[in-house]
Amino acid sequence: MQRVILHLDMDAFYAAVEVREDPSLTGKPLIIGHRGRRGVVSTCSYEARKFGVRSAMPSVTAERLCPDAVWLSGRMGLYSEVSKRIRAIMRDATPVVEPISIDEAFLDMTGQSHDLREGAAAARQLKQRIKREEQLTASVGVAPNKFLAKLASDMDKPDGLTLLPLTAVPVKLWPLPVERLWGVGPKTAERLRGAGLSTVKSLLDVDERSLAQVVSPSMAAHLRALARGEDDRPVCTEREAKSISEERTYGEDLTDPDVIDRALLARAEGVARALRKQKLIATTVHIKVRTGDFTTWTRALKLPAPTALPEPLLEGARTLFRERIDLGGKGVRLLGLGVSGLAPETSAQATLFVPAEEEAARRRAQVTDLIREKLGDQAITRARLVKKKDRPEPEEASSLPSVD
Ligand code: TTP
Ligand code: MG
């Protein structure tokens, strides 16, 4: 089935927002950035681009190219508010929106639009709504995949709407320089040029084996697929979590090793539960320790195998705490445990041999999760975590679970 993918990119975003806020700037060369020797240009209006001013250019160069430009230093808070509202407009068109930056996103319209023509109609409506509600223009590319959609959105800026079907690939894509292919940076481009390969078309004129001698075999296959206009990357709605962690600050510094160990166990339980909830496994465990005098350590180690279970996390955390941290006799004010190197749990189940013992632990953990979900967090807890008079739970001043 052919997909219908949109790539939307706002035109001269920061500058356009400033012009909207102050219409007297309309039609003037406007540069957003800090002037002076160390400043760089964030962006500029299309009027300033006529003078050669570009994003990331040193401000002194921009001043020389366009001495009459109006300069503004930029208001991030305002731009991100506008960005949020534009995202909401996109999400009204389809729930499958992948934001790429503050002013750019991919949308998968396959569920709403039967073909690229219908996709273009949806794109026109999106542009109109953004114009009406935000008085801003966007450029949109409509294509069967992300690579072509992104290429298309750039073809008729500003205020563009460009359809790029596979049939247009020979005319629109093949004459372009190799740098326009996703994954070709300056180094790869230089190597390709050195081998006489400078246009996209040239990559299809040589056979894949010769290309593989210039770049790696996998890169060769990747580049030739893109050159044919093929790209099957999905539009991902949510950026996957890179790490999950939990930390607690204690009202009174912890000194009792047993209390500290129980705190680690509680954090390992919490983080493992968060992993299972998101159907993820982790390959690395971290701890964060702050002593009463505000010295802070963070230490990490790679786990023997990816996991979503508390036991291996606790083992790793204990090792780190024992071997990699020297409290120097001070008490623990803050204790955190986190994981990173996250992957979907299915990737491990499919590829790794799971020992029976671990499988049983995983089942147990799943049952616990289920009961907690139904009856609340206190329904099941490990014997060691049950509050007892002679083993008081340390008082927690603040807790900070975090996913980022
Ligand atoms: P872009 O979409 O790259 O640029 P733009 O929207 O200003 O212009 P275009 O019409 O070509 O899309 O980036 C979006 C915003 O991100 C831009 O308005 C300012 C900011 N930005 C920087 O601050 N520094 C940079 O180097 C770039 C490229 C962008
Ligand atoms: Mg833009």
Name the closest ligand to CA 102: 1
User: What is the whole-number distance in angstroms between the Cα of residue 231 and the centre of ligand 2?
Assistant: 22
Range with lowest mean pLDDT among 16-30, 168-182, 243-257: 243-257
- Please tell me whether residues 208 and 307 are part of one structural domain: no
What pLDDT does 196 receive?
Answer: 96
Q: Are 330 and 293 in contact (CB under 8 A)?
A: yes
Whether residue 54 is contained in a domain is answered as: no
- The CATH number for 201's domain is 1.10.150.20
pLDDT at 168 exceeding the cut of 90 = yes
Looking at the CA of residue 56, tell me the nearest atom of ligand 1.
26
What pLDDT does 389 receive?
Answer: 46
Whether residue 352 is contained in a domain is answered as: yes
pLDDT greater at residue 158 or residue 252: 158
Mean pLDDT on 227-252: 86
Whether residue 262 is contained in a domain is answered as: yes
- Where do we find the tokens 């780190």? 320
Confirm or reject: Cβ of 79 under 6 Å from ligand 1. Answer: no
- Please tell me whether residues 212 and 353 are part of one structural domain: no
What pLDDT does 353 receive?
Answer: 47
User: What is the whole-number distance in angstroms between the Cα of residue 230 and the centre of ligand 2?
Assistant: 24
Dihedral angle, C-alpha 116, 121, 125, 128, nearest 10 °: 100
Confirm or reject: Cβ of 191 under 6 Å from ligand 1. Answer: no
Q: What is the rounded CA–CA span in Å between residue 135 and residue 130?
A: 7
What pLDDT does 350 receive?
Answer: 38
Range with lowest mean pLDDT among 178-187, 207-216, 252-261, 380-389: 380-389
User: What is the whole-number distance in angstroms between the Cα of residue 104 and the centre of ligand 2?
Assistant: 6
Alpha-helical runs (H) found in 278-401: 310-324, 345-351, 356-375
Confirm or reject: Cβ of 331 under 6 Å from ligand 1. Answer: no
Q: Which of 182, 201, 227 is the endpoint of a domain? A: 227
Confirm or reject: Cβ of 54 under 6 Å from ligand 1. Answer: no
What pLDDT does 366 receive?
Answer: 75
pLDDT digits (tens, 9 = 90+) for 101-137: 899 999 999 989 999 999 999 999 999 999 999 999 9
User: What is the whole-number distance in angstroms between the Cα of residue 403 and the centre of ligand 1?
Assistant: 28
Whether residue 270 is contained in a domain is answered as: yes
Q: What is the rounded CA–CA span in Å between residue 399 and residue 248?
A: 5
What pLDDT does 352 receive?
Answer: 47
Q: What is the rounded CA–CA span in Å between residue 373 and residue 281?
A: 20
pTM flag (> 0.85) = no
Strand 104-108 relative to strand 97-101: parallel, antiparallel, unpaired?
Answer: antiparallel
- Please tell me whether residues 207 and 278 are part of one structural domain: no
Q: Which of 227, 253, 270 is the endpoint of a domain? A: 227
Q: What is the rounded CA–CA span in Å between residue 284 and residue 396?
A: 26
pLDDT at 29 exceeding the cut of 90 = yes
**How many Å from the N-terminal Cα to the C-terminal Cα in the chain?**
34
pLDDT digits (tens, 9 = 90+) for 178-204: 999 998 989 999 999 999 999 999 999
- The CATH number for 311's domain is 3.30.1490.100
Name the closest ligand to CA 46: 1
- Please tell me whether residues 187 and 260 are part of one structural domain: no
What pLDDT does 382 receive?
Answer: 62
Name the closest ligand to CA 42: 1
Mean pLDDT on 23-31: 98
- Please tell me whether residues 201 and 316 are part of one structural domain: no
User: What is the whole-number distance in angstroms between the Cα of residue 16 and the centre of ligand 1?
Assistant: 11
327 CB-near residues (< 8 Å, 6+ apart): 289, 291
Range of the domain at 189: 174-227
Q: Which among 23-32, 279-288, 292-301, 372-381 has the top mean pLDDT?
A: 23-32
Is residue 356 very low, low, confident or very high in pLDDT (cuts 50, 70, 90)? Answer: low
Confirm or reject: Cβ of 158 under 6 Å from ligand 1. Answer: yes
- Please tell me whether residues 212 and 247 are part of one structural domain: no
pLDDT at 351 exceeding the cut of 50 = no
- Please tell me whether residues 360 and 264 are part of one structural domain: yes
Whether residue 238 is contained in a domain is answered as: no
Confirm or reject: Cβ of 105 under 6 Å from ligand 1. Answer: no
Mean pLDDT on 305-328: 94
Whether residue 404 is contained in a domain is answered as: no
Question: How many domains are contained in the chain?
Answer: 2
Mean pLDDT on 284-310: 92
Whether residue 137 is contained in a domain is answered as: no
Confirm or reject: Cβ of 18 under 6 Å from ligand 1. Answer: no
What pLDDT does 161 receive?
Answer: 98
What pLDDT does 251 receive?
Answer: 84
Nearest Cα residue to atom 15 of ligand 1:
13
Q: Which of 202, 227, 252 is the endpoint of a domain? A: 227
Confirm or reject: Cβ of 83 under 6 Å from ligand 1. Answer: no
Q: Are 122 and 101 in contact (CB under 8 A)?
A: no
What pLDDT does 144 receive?
Answer: 98
Dihedral angle, C-alpha 259, 260, 266, 272, nearest 10 °: -160
Looking at the CA of residue 14, tell me the nearest atom of ligand 1.
18
What pLDDT does 292 receive?
Answer: 86
Q: Would you call 104 a catalytic residue per the annotation?
A: yes
- Please tell me whether residues 186 and 321 are part of one structural domain: no
Q: Where are the beta strands (DSSP E) in 169-309?
A: 243-254, 280-291, 296-307
Options 18, 47, 98, 104, the catalytic residue: 104
User: What is the whole-number distance in angstroms between the Cα of residue 82 and the centre of ligand 2?
Assistant: 13
What pLDDT does 52 receive?
Answer: 98
- Please tell me whether residues 268 and 355 are part of one structural domain: yes
- Please tell me whether residues 384 and 255 are part of one structural domain: yes
- Please tell me whether residues 261 and 205 are part of one structural domain: no
- Please tell me whether residues 284 and 346 are part of one structural domain: yes
Whether residue 367 is contained in a domain is answered as: yes
Confirm or reject: Cβ of 140 under 6 Å from ligand 1. Answer: no
Q: Which residue among 41, 55, 127, 155 has the greatest number of ligand 1 atoms within 8 angstroms of its CB, and so is best to mutate?
A: 55
**Which among 325, 253, 341 is positioned nearest to 288, based on CA atoms?**
325
